[in-house]
Amino acid sequence: MRRKLAAGNWKMNGTGPALAELESLAHTFPDPSVDILICPPATLLHRASQTVHHTGIAVGGQDCHAATSGAHTGDLSAEMLKDTGANSVILGHSERREDHGEQNEDVRAKARTAMDAGLTTIICVGESLEQREAANTLDIIGGQMSGSIPDQSTGENLVVAYEPIWAIGTGKVPTLEEIGEVHDFMRARLERRFGEGVGRSVRLLYGGSVKPSNAAEIFGVSNVDGALVGGASLKAEDFSGIIRALEGA
């Protein structure tokens, strides 16, 4: 049975006072029935880990380098993330692919290193509006999965997040049928590549303008095991509505 996951990506938002939102979230969900993960900016990782220590909330990074150490000014290794108290890392987000030119092979190399360090990797895939309108969505998703996901993946160290690029932060959301088509496709691809055991154990998240108002219906879609949430995860009150919807799914 796959345990549901609500993951919050704070992106480049938050300084020390934002940790109060974590405290509020931990108070609201002292014993959550789903996994809750917050990925704050790197400057807050250690303090966030201390804030949620001995609670039902985990923290993760937003990226890591493919190398374990070395002359890479400004970068963080997977071991460094783990040293802060993080247990997970987001990789291959569309904003990293766009802003930093990351390719599938870059994401795969980072994921290998992160998995070797004991981190759970949330690998992001998603199509642009042009690709969606050209009916290329499944080809794009399939290619990103094949190129970005390492061979050593298991249900414990891999989570795949489908985030249609055109829906991130726009308020636009695919239809439930479109979400279901992609998630069923991803499940089938994982089962074909890794076998039914591993393929069925990997959690699949949906991301892209998830809000308390639409979360319940999204979580009712086949093979949606949770959400990767951006802006709505910045405030405990907003994220709590999404978590409650997931607990009821």
Q: Which residues are catalytic?
A: 93, 163
Q: What three-state secondary structure class fits 118?
A: coil
Give all strands (DSSP E) within the chain, no chain letters.
5-9, 35-39, 57-61, 88-91, 120-125, 158-162, 203-206, 226-229
Distance CA 152, CA 112 (A): 8
Looking only at the bridges linking them, the beta strands covering 35-39 and 57-61 are: parallel
Distance CA 47, CA 29 (A): 19
Nearest to 60 by CA among 112, 8, 14: 8
- Are the CB atoms for 134 and 175 separated by under 8 Å? no
Distance CA 249, CA 226 (A): 9
Distance CA 8, CA 215 (A): 14
Nearest to 229 by CA among 243, 208, 198: 208
